[in-house]
């Protein structure tokens, strides 16, 4: 099979700004690598200070323009504080919001408890919804806003090992993307969801 690497001279994100949530490892880390490789200036958040500092150091060594904040995305005040930081760093404008952060506790439906439900909803869905609300004025001000939701195949078809609550949150993200794409088109903001299958990350490896 012949593979062809995209010529980065033909496509550039120079001058663009991005926020990627949960990006110190896994899929989020790879997203940052791609965006930064095309010249975007990026801010990330992660709940792990250790992973955050490690990743920021690696990107600095590569010459990427990436800054970061520790943030528990389940916390309403911390989400607001993060967006205030992003607004300050990027002068009130944001081109790209990547709602990447997500969690997974794979269990049979009958074994889930209230904490499991709250954990999934607050991290996978509520955080993404709130970040969209908070970022709307910044995305609109940029004149070219794009929201990307990290959904999953589990939001389209049943992946039993992932659990019903995880699938529920990812299906909701798909519909949220559709709604915002229509509602915010007038503001020059696009919204899309990508739905990968299982990707080899520390989180996916914990699902048996």
Which residue, among 5, 10, 13, 11, has the nearest Cα to 35 in the 3D structure?
A: 13
Question: Is position 166 annotated as part of the catalytic site?
Answer: yes
Of 29, 129, 144, 166, the catalytic one is 166
Distance CA 94, CA 6 (A): 25
Q: How many CB atoms lie within 10 A of CB 39?
A: 15
Contacts of 114 (CB under 8 A, 6+ apart): none
Contacts of 112 (CB under 8 A, 6+ apart): 105, 163, 164, 165
Strands ordered across the beta sheet of 66-70:
66-70, 41-46, 17-21, 96-99, 145-150, 189-194
Pair of tokens at residue 140 = 């609109």
Catalytic residue numbers, as ranges: 166
């Amino acid at each position: 099979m012949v593979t062809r690497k995209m010529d980065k001279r033909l496509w550039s994100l120079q001058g663009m700004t991005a926020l990627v949530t949960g990006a110190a490892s896994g899929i989020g880390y790879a997203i940052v690598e791609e965006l930064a490789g095309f010249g975007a200036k990026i801010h990330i958040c992660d709940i792990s200070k250790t992973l955050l500092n490690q990743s920021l150091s690696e990107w600095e060594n590569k010459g990427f323009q990436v800054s970061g904040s520790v943030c528990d995305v389940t916390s309403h005040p911390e989400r607001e504080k993060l967006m205030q930081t992003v607004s300050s760093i990027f002068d009130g404008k944001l081109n790209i919001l990547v709602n990447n952060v997500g969690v997974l506790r794979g269990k049979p439906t009958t074994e889930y408890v209230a904490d499991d439900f709250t954990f999934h909803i607050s991290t996978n869905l509520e955080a993404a919804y709130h970040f969209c609300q908070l970022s709307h004025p910044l995305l609109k001000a940029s004149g070219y806003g794009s929201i990307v939701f990290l959904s999953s195949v589990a939001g389209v078809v049943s992946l039993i090992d992932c659990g019903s609550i995880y699938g529920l949150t990812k299906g909701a993200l798909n519909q949220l993307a559709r709604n915002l794409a229509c509602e915010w088109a007038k503001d020059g903001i696009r919204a899309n969801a990508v739905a990968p299958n299982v990707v080899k990350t520390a989180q996916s490896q914990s699902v048996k």
